[in-house]
Chains A and B, each alone.
Chain A
Amino acid sequence: MDTGNAPSAQSDGLDPSLFEQAEFDPNAGERSGYSNYSYWRSTFRMFLKRKSALFFLIILVAILAFTFIQPLLPGQKSPTTIYQDPATSMQYRNVEPGHEFWFGTNSIGQDLWARIWSGTRTSLLLGLTVGIAEMLIGITFGALWGYVRGLDRPMTEIYNVLDNIPTTILLMLLAYIMRPSFKTMVIAMCSVGWLGLARFVRNQIVIIRDREYNLASRCIGTPTRRIILKNLLPYLVSVIMLQTALSIPGTIGWEVFLTYIGLGLPVNIPSLGNLVNEGRLIMMSPDLRYQLIFPTTVLSVITISFYVLGNAFSDASDPRNHV
């Protein structure tokens, strides 16, 4: 019986070298677990896993790059010059897409190819300006609204009033009051667009404001600004990115809508809204429909890319989805 243990282990076919005795290490218990988890790296890994997101990212980057490269390419035409036939000195009106004018010309003889890229530049600039401005305003108001208790009642009341007016109506009214210009569009769209983001930020902050780690921070006297920036905002990255990414196609769409009503950018500035509107006026003749189809295609590709990318990024940046 006494000697039975060692031989029986061998008879089980186990290798005795597996049972080496470990050295006692007094420091081992002090070592903490190490993880090479990095928030942003995981976010990007999750993001790149989505094939559709990658596809639209490439398209969007290509379009963005091209709008800035295009004027530098050789042989490009000016987006605002009216071209004339040197032989007859007549304007090139409604020339079909071809060798000379790649996307054809419009009804007064301007090159549609150049106008589309110039218009895309304008519209993207508008979208980015409004998106970033809305993000800053929305975060500031949302964070104060959610964190500072004394502000909750008055800000909720203000929100309820503004939220009750249909966005379209408020936007039209603001654009009507101010003269049509780039600045008008930015101001009008920012004043209606920040509301949604502010509410999202506020709701999230109310939820996490009183968690223990924030109470602890407050107890040791961390300034409010630092609590908001360091403790609360990192939780909101996914919501904020989604709202901002969606506000860009939204802005481009509003621009088209306001242009239709006659409150858009001045007609001498090529923008996607102005191009779509010019195309709309002549859409009833099938031969000229290319003037509507080209700008709307570019516009749709851009808005769909932003939409898909925004959603994919928001999924990827949510730490609960990280493995």
Chain B
Amino acid sequence: MLRYSIKRLLQSLVTLFVVVSFVFLLMRLLPVEGYFGDRYQKMSEGEIEAGLQKMGLLDPWYVQLGHFYGKLIKGDLGTSYVYRKDVAITKIIRPRIPYSVSLGLAAVALSMVLGLTLGVQMARHKGKGWDKFGTVYIVLIQAVPLAVYLLFIQLYGSNLFKLPLLFDKHRFISWILPAVSMSLGGIGYYAMWMRRYMVDELNKDYIKLARAKGMSSKSIMVKHVLRNAYVPMAQYLPATILATIAGSIYIESLYSVPGMGGLLVDVIQRQDNSMVQALVLIFSSVGIIGLFLGDLLMALVDPRIKLVKSEGAR
């Protein structure tokens, strides 16, 4: 287990390095006006040249990359040019992290609990009411663009349930709509997977044996079927985290959550290159960390992974 974790960690670090470098180099193509903000229109060609020179943006790419990593090790992501001029980016971002993280975790937890419950219900009542309801839900959630249905949830959800339209960190009730919105896609994903898994699993021999032994269906469910579902559940966790990141960017912006996703939309609209760069790198890293944790979790719940690895090492 330890050996596997270390190997996987090193692998993730290499991926992280490659992805960060790749994205950083892609960023060298950003439109130049994003480094100056409103002043750009009034500046002469020479001034722009001098400004870029001063920021080190005319250096060869490997020099820029070296500088970037040098600063990154010291925990410096650069300064903002437009959004809040000359303020360190880490200082702008740090107070926003807790909101994004807690909303994201709430959404992942919600989608797991509700999605798995829905999936179990669908499989138990196959072809009947629950199953039909679940199927329609999954089709709607996957086919209708998220940018559309989330808009209607904000619009009518706030009316119908008397919930606040915008996020307010001091009122718990205003957390409900964003968190639920963020979990809807994951619910559909988990429900779909859980239903398929249960339907397959219930036809297997070991379940028939358990039934022949006289176990009640409830304890078959709990002791056999759901226990075996841990592994694939862990397997889908990273995908859920990635999907939640995608949703959070839109949802945080819709509900004015003071998190990082909303900030990314903000700085793209106001064309602040250094902020865009920092946030994109953060979000990409979160994706890699999510995949890493998912794999670790899988090794933890699935004994077969350890077995294969130790045999291979011998």
Contacts and interface: CB of A to CB of B under 8 A. Distances in A.
8 contacts: A165-B23, A172-B249, A249-B143, A249-B145, A253-B146, A261-B269, A300-B144, A308-B143
B181 to A, nearest CB: 14
A205 B273 CA distance: 42
A55 B117 CA distance: 31
Interface in B115-134: none
Contact of B268 (A166, A176, A179, A249): A176
A180 to B, nearest CB: 11
A303 B146 contact: no
Given A177-B29, A260-B250, A164 B288 contact: yes
Given A167-B246, A257-B250, A303 B145 contact: yes
A299 interface: yes
A161 B155 CA distance: 38
B151 interface: yes
Nearest to B281: A169
A314 to B, nearest CB: 14
A23 to B, nearest CB: 50
A177 B30 contact: yes
Interface string B103-118: 0000000000000000
B31 A168 contact: no
Interface string B275-297: 01000100110011001000000
B268 A283 contact: no
Interface in A243-269: 249, 252-254, 256-257, 260-263
A280 interface: yes
Contacts of A257: 145-147, 250
Interface residues of B, number: 39
Interface string B4-27: 000000000001001100110011
Interface string A170-197: 0011001101000000000000000000
A303 B291 contact: no
B298 interface: no
Given A161-B19, A176-B30, A304-B139, A253 B145 contact: yes
A299 B280 contact: no
Contacts of B250: 257, 260
A103 to B, nearest CB: 17
* Chain A facing B: main interface SS: helix
Contacts of A168: 245-246, 249
Contacts of B101: none
Contacts of B284: 164-166, 169
A137 interface: no
A292 interface: yes
A256 B145 contact: yes
B281 to A, nearest CB: 9
Contacts of B143: 249, 300, 303-304, 306-308
Given A160-B15, A306-B143, 11 more contacts: A164-B284, A164-B287, A166-B287, A168-B245, A172-B268, A177-B26, A289-B155, A292-B151, A303-B144, A304-B139, A304-B143
A169 B307 CA distance: 37
Interface of B: 15, 18-19, 22-23, 26-27, 29-31, 139-140, 142-148, 151-152, 155, 242, 245-246, 249-250, 253, 264-265, 268-269, 276, 280, 283-284, 287-288, 291
A272 B142 CA distance: 18
B151 A280 contact: yes
Contacts of A179: 31
A249 B253 CA distance: 23
Given A161-B15, A304-B139, A307-B143, A256 B23 contact: no
A263 B265 CA distance: 10
B152 A296 contact: yes
A296 B29 CA distance: 35
Contacts of A296: 148, 151-152
Interface in A138-174: 160-161, 164-169, 172-173
A256 B148 contact: yes
B148 A300 contact: yes
Interface in A272-323: 276, 280, 283, 289, 292, 296, 299-300, 303-304, 306-308
B14 to A, nearest CB: 10
Given A161-B22, A173-B26, A257-B145, A263 B151 contact: no
A300 B144 CA distance: 5
A304 B23 CA distance: 34
Nearest to A173: B280
Nearest to A310: B143
A9 B283 CA distance: 86
B19 A164 contact: yes
Given A164-B15, A166-B287, A169-B283, A256 B30 contact: no
Nearest to B287: A166
A253 B19 contact: no
B145 A299 contact: yes
Given A161-B18, A262-B268, A177 B31 contact: yes
Most buried by A among B19, B142, B148, B246: B148
A105 B264 CA distance: 33
A261 B263 CA distance: 11
Contacts of B253: 260-261
Contacts of B269: 261-262
Contacts of B31: 176-177, 179
